[in-house]
Chain A
Amino acid sequence: MASRLVNWFKFSSPATFFPLARKIGVVSTVIAVALIAVGLYMSFFVAPTDYKQGEGYRIIFVHVPASWMSMFIYVVMAGWAALGLIFNTRLSMMMAQALAPTGAMFAFLSLWTGSFWGKPMWGAWWVWDARITSELILLFLYLGYMALRSAIDDPRRADRASAILLLVGVVNVPIIYYSVQWWNTLHQGSTIRLNEESTMDDTMLIAMLIMTLGFWAYSIAVAMSRLRTLILERERSANWVRELASRGG
């Protein structure tokens, strides 16, 4: 342990992480505002019109990054939940809790923008195909997690119960991701693939990636601000929080 450059366990203490969360939050807010501004400008004014869908395709600049984030945040939450269960750390559980509303927001945004795109392009607001249905289940998992947490008064018990729900729900994420390959779906296949060339114009792709990074920064920023509130709330009887409060900070 002593040979390591950074002692990570030091930061698992809410008291040490609290000031760091503020710094991370400020930096990622700045990055988020800058990237989303550039990304939206590129999405609406720089990226070319699609040859078949016209201007309507521009919804993907929000839709695809939002869908990615909704899946990614869930995996991160499940990772924190696993760490929390194994090492019995409060902060890991608070991390998961701080991310939940953002993940739910992105899942909803993904379904909502998808619906707006689906009506003109497919001819339907909603269809029960595998991709869309599994994304809806993801939204319900987020809502279920938050409901379960708030239904249990003792925070340590809420931590454990909701962590198990998170871990069980993680099977849904690969199902969402691979649904378009495994089954016949109305939803199109992936444009951006890990092992093949993307079937998308470069400018469109860059705009979409900038939006994705912007959403990442946004998620970190809001999660850190939420985390600070959670830390204060749960550690309110700790000495350092009392001192902080008495200093008027």
Chain B
Amino acid sequence: MKARHRRFGIVLVGMAALGVAAYLVLTALEGNLSYFFSPTEVANGEAPGEHVFRLGGLVEAGSVQRETGELRVNFIVTDMAQRVKVAYDGILPDLFAEGQGVIAQGRMGPDNVFVAEEVLAKHDETYMPPEVAEALEAAGKMGERHPGGKSL
């Protein structure tokens, strides 16, 4: 056994140990590394009820209601399984739209309405020219080229 074989062994064992350590740390941290809670997690009581947390999901189609003359807007965030009502008083990002992914930061109100302090738009990983988007829309195939929804 030459010295370089021994060093190769040390590097290999070191890297393996490091990999196991990283795996254990990540497993232990699991949920804490998530940026937001889904409506299903909120419904199951996994979200911290009294504290500020982030809620993520899709804006339900047809659920956006604006109050005239005010910034206040109400909408429903869904993950296709559960729905959470959200109230927000502020400026929405450009990408905010019905059917679009959003992440709202705020806390649960007593009437089960999530009062948001900040709303961020989550972009999906689909990039295409508008003509293609229109063609897909017309053919009713938008959902298939649109994996952003299910990744939320």
Contacts and interface: CB of A to CB of B under 8 A. Distances in A.
A183 B127 contact: no
Nearest to A117: B123
A184 B56 contact: yes
Contact of B119 (A123, A129, A167): A123
A89 to B, nearest CB: 10
B127 A60 contact: yes
Interface string B109-130: 0000000001111111111111
A186 B123 CA distance: 8
B38 interface: yes
Contacts of A130: 33-35
B4 to A, nearest CB: 5
Contacts of A123: 92-93, 118-121
B103 interface: yes
B147 A199 contact: yes
Contacts of B15: 167, 170
A59 to B, nearest CB: 12
B42 to A, nearest CB: 13
Contact of A121 (B118, B121, B129): B121
Contacts of A128: 35
A211 B127 CA distance: 17
A88 B151 CA distance: 46
B145 interface: yes
Contacts of A247: none
Interface in A119-162: 120-124, 127-130
A86 B128 contact: no
Contacts of B37: 184
A199 B22 contact: no
A167 B123 contact: no
Interface in A152-206: 167-168, 170-171, 175, 182-186, 188-191, 199-201, 204
A188 B122 CA distance: 7
Contacts of B4: 86-88
A40 to B, nearest CB: 18
B122 A199 contact: no
A201 B151 CA distance: 20
A53 B11 contact: no
B48 interface: no
Contact of B123 (A53, A87, A183): A53
B132 interface: yes
Contact of A51 (B36, B92, B129, B151): B129
23 contacts: A86-B7, A87-B4, A121-B93, A122-B120, A123-B93, A124-B118, A128-B35, A130-B33, A167-B14, A183-B34, A184-B34, A184-B35, A186-B35, A186-B56, A186-B122, A188-B123, A188-B125, A189-B124, A189-B125, A199-B124, A199-B127, A200-B125, A204-B127
Interface of A: 48-53, 57, 60, 82, 85-88, 120-124, 127-130, 167-168, 170-171, 175, 182-186, 188-191, 199-201, 204
